Structure 1
Amino acid sequence: IGGDFNVLATDIYKQVIGQQNFEMGAVVSMVLLLPAGLAFVVDRIVQKKQVALLSARAVPLEPLPNKRFDNLMLTYSIIISIFILGILGVCQFAALVKFFPYNLSLGFSNYQFDLMDGGGWDSYFNSIEMASYTAVFGTIVVFAGAYLVEKGQGLGPIRGAFQFLAMLPMAIPGLVLGLAYIFFFNAPSNPLNFLYHTMAILVISTIIHFYTVSHLTATTALKQMDSQFESVAASLKQPFYRTFLRVTVPVCTPAILDISIYLFVNAMTTVSAVVFLYSPHTTLASVAVLNMDDAGDIAPAAAMGMMIFYTAAGVKILHYLLSRGIEARTQAWRVAVAE
């Protein structure tokens, strides 16, 4: 959709796919790492000024109502919502039309994915499986890593190095990650070669691809907790894992749930990193949309896209209901006490 407006990510695609110039693609990839280094420096400066939200003197914040500002923001939100719903409505209409623009009668023939290119309904269920694995294992890995960075003692420069590496995926296009995984895992001499063309490599690449935002969400939540919790636990000779499970995890439950839904939704929709890594047995719905569109099956591609949307929306609703129940039991400290 960019037309003649070039960006580095699309230039990599042109160099590697269009001209088979892997060397220039690698050079452009390294140039993209420079903003990541700058972002890391800025992030560390900002974090030094951040203070804990939950301490022994913590008082829940009650923002005062401002009708003029609230109505202005409501109007703005409604305009944006109408725009988004309009895009989804057009896509849904295209998915139901039998043969646009000649036969505008509605039907569900475009949902017969097994008759189209792209992998059929297996692609859709593979995406759900991959997104579920990504949400579960990704959340565990991300939160554990963030805990070691923010609460780990005696790690010294290792914490800074890990924080820098956690910031890199945001600056690296998924296309570059996919190519890197091909070169690394496809080497016959690599002992991890068995992961190539499996569901595991899709899950790993997706977790790494969206690691940065999840990591920042987790570290922000952990910074809201006063370091005195760990100090008091150590003075009482309590193991760190007991403090982690009984204090840290309950307090950070909203952030943990947000990380899981973020990883799930992005895993359902991602294309760039996994487009080079899937096998005939691990085709994904997002890749199927691309393949069907390339084959001229635009309406079935729209139908598969809407299936992705409905799945993500359904999981988001389930996440909201689950969050309300869990937060009611673990976030009582956030509720202001009535005077």
Structure 2
Amino acid sequence: MVDVTMNRQGRRVLFKHGSVLKTVVLALLIALIVLPLLRTVLFTLQPDTIKAWSDVLTGRLSTNLFYKPLGNTLLIGVVVATGCVFLGGFLAWLVVMTNVPFRKTIGVMATLPFMIPSFAAALAWGALFRNDRVGGQVGWLQGMGLDIPDWLAWGITPTLIVLTLHYFSLAFTIIAAALATVNSDLVEAAQIAGAKGGRILMGIILPVTTPALVAAGSLCFAGAVSNFATPALLGLPVRMQTLSTRLFGMIEVGQVGRGYVIGILLVLISGAFLWAGNRIVSGRRSYATITGKGGRAKRLDLRGARWPLCALAMVALVSSTVLPVVILSASSFAPSSANLFSNWTLHYWVGLSSQSIAQGIPGIVHNEDIVRALSVTLALGLAVALAGMLVGLLTSYTTARFRKGWMSAVITQVSFLPLLVPGIAFGAAYIAYLGAPIGPFPALYGTFALLVIAGTAYLLPFSVQTGRAVIQQVGGELEESARLTGASFARRLSAITVPLAIRGLTAGGILIFVKIIRDLSLVVLLFTPTMPVLSVLAYRYASEGFGQFANAITVVILFISIAASLIANWLQAKSQPWLKN
């Protein structure tokens, strides 16, 4: 009887602690995510700014302010999502289900493009294909004497190509994971019945991987419509606007109300397509492919097509991974992108100020702005990683250990809300939220604190997902035993949960570090000369015609990102299931 009473008391104490923790976490998430978005909406509804809605939607300038950028944005989203599903799905099918040569190499290379910032690929494209339409230096191909047409050098076509080559790795990862779970019995039965590879693909594999295809397409669409760097670098010089570039332009020229309205509409569009994708998947329930039987089916024999398909895959992978890095590295040494592989100089790296080259701008080692930006960027990455790990751990711990109740459901939904918000719109929301004083609290615009808070909130879904994965691996009975001995929540968390999950948490923190140091869309509106970051400096130098400095800075970002990503992969020590066999 005494034991029963103690157990009941323990459950009541646990429930009480769970309620307190849920309240604290929910209040924190509301402050980080909900209030910035709400503040943005309320700002546009004030008497002196509400006219911005009619200006954007029905005014005489609405065509240029909203509808033309909207058309370009939707075109980019649909084409890029379609291209990513086809290219990522093709590579996933090769790696998971066929006997294509160099499967492991293809699988590893297919995951790399998403680690490379999209503005790096856009800069590399300009170094190759830029023509003389907008003045300044021309690209390597034009320098070789080739006549590069405007449609290939600028505008919608290069934007579509660059974004597809950037986001297809996201589709590959999702589709490959789904293909790895396809029931082998289904494929083997079809093979025994004499079905050809094409019939198996269309009749079995595609139907059962529909959720993955829809999810991949939705995420690639959301990423493409919210991307700022690529359309800004390849489209703005020829006045091709998207909603993200128009939002940036409005705030840059002081038309904040119109900019916030465009940001709100961009969030609604992105969220609507993600919601539609989820509805399509949740509307059907006949996708079960994992049962208690079956082993890995024999891989599809491509026969004479093995090497041609391998070559086709390698062309896409080299174009999206190796080529941009080679082009950017070469351009950081070349005096002109027209002579990309000759007359190299170290000036853009270690040169002192000289009026005879680059208008007196010193190399990045001696450039005080770039050196300061490097220190700020690294500090930002570390601060956001640590803050993200802490907030993500508390959030995931709450939802994993105290699942029941409406508060847990709300916490889960709110924590993943930033996935629906494009980075540039989230940055605009934080300008509205913390850019001006709030009661006794001073304005944070132009401060390091604003960058950290905004970065932590924006990347919270990734930290929560990582935290949830590692928390679920730690048995709850360990903490329960410690609680019965009188250990406090903080003591249990620091002495049991964190030590046991430290490798996974560290890997997740490194991934957050990588995402924030290479991000441009979030920080481009929060950038100030007193608080510079490398990605925005690279964009500024590229926009002002100093491509070598932009490319050198981008190479530094790439080096840091790839090194940190390799460390994270080593810490996780998890092989992709499609690379095991």
Alpha carbons of structure 1 residues 129 and 269: separation in structure 2 relative to 1, 3 Å = same
Answer yes or no: is 1:25 the counterpart of 2:274.
Answer: no
RMSD across aligned positions (CA): 3.8
Output the CA distance in 1 between the equivalents of 2:272 and 2:333: 45
How far off is 1:38 after superposition?
7.2
How far off is 1:274 after superposition?
1.0
Output the CA distance in 1 between the equivalents of 2:474 and 2:514: 28
**Secondary structure, counterpart of 1:98 in structure 2:** coil
Alpha carbons of structure 1 residues 150 and 34: separation in structure 2 relative to 1, 3 Å = farther
Give the letter aligned to residue 98 of structure 1: P
Answer yes or no: is 1:97 the counterpart of 2:334.
Answer: yes
- Alignment counterpart, residue 12 of structure 1, candidates 243, 251, 266: 243
Give the letter aligned to residue 92 of structure 1: S
How far off is 1:152 after superposition?
3.9
TM-score by length of 1: 0.74
Higher relative contact order (CA 8 A, sep 6+): 1
TM-score by length of 2: 0.45
What are the ranges of 5 or more consecutive residues in structure 2 without an aligned counterpart?
A: 1-121, 123-154, 161-220, 228-241, 283-294, 301-305, 354-360, 574-581
How far off is 1:318 after superposition?
5.5
Contact 2:388–2:509 (8 Å) recurs in 1:
yes
**CA deviation map 1:251-295 (0-9, x unaligned):** 322320111111111121011111111221111110001000000
How far off is 1:172 after superposition?
0.5
**Secondary structure, counterpart of 1:175 in structure 2:** helix
- Alignment counterpart, residue 240 of structure 1, candidates 486, 489, 492: 489
- Alignment counterpart, residue 109 of structure 1, candidates 335, 344, 347: 347
- Alignment counterpart, residue 140 of structure 1, candidates 372, 390, 399: 390
Equivalent position of 2:156 in the other structure? 3
What is the 5 A alignment of 1:229-268?
229-268=478-517
Contact 2:373–2:531 (8 Å) recurs in 1:
yes
- Alignment counterpart, residue 311 of structure 1, candidates 560, 570, 575: 560
**Secondary structure, counterpart of 1:165 in structure 2:** helix
How far off is 1:303 after superposition?
0.5
- Corresponding pairs, count: 301
Residues 248-257 or 194-203, more deviating? 248-257
**CA deviation map 1:81-127 (0-9, x unaligned):** 64412321121111121222247222221225982799332222221
Equivalent position of 1:179 in the other structure? 428
Give the letter aligned to residue 126 of structure 1: V
How far off is 1:180 after superposition?
0.7
| Structure possessing the higher radius of gyration over alpha carbons | 2
Contact 1:169–1:210 (8 Å) recurs in 2:
yes
**CA deviation map 1:286-317 (0-9, x unaligned):** 00010000001111111000011122334445
What is the 5 A alignment of 1:16-55?
16-18=247-249, 20=255, 21-22=258-259, 23-34=261-272
Contact 1:127–1:285 (8 Å) recurs in 2:
yes
Alpha carbons of structure 1 residues 18 and 136: separation in structure 2 relative to 1, 3 Å = closer
Equivalent position of 1:193 in the other structure? 442
Output the CA distance in 1 between the equivalents of 2:274 and 2:496: 33
Give the letter aligned to residue 505 of structure 2: I
**Secondary structure, counterpart of 2:338 in structure 1:** coil
Contact 1:146–1:218 (8 Å) recurs in 2:
yes
Equivalent position of 1:87 in the other structure? 324
Contact 2:377–2:533 (8 Å) recurs in 1:
yes
Contact 1:95–1:302 (8 Å) recurs in 2:
yes
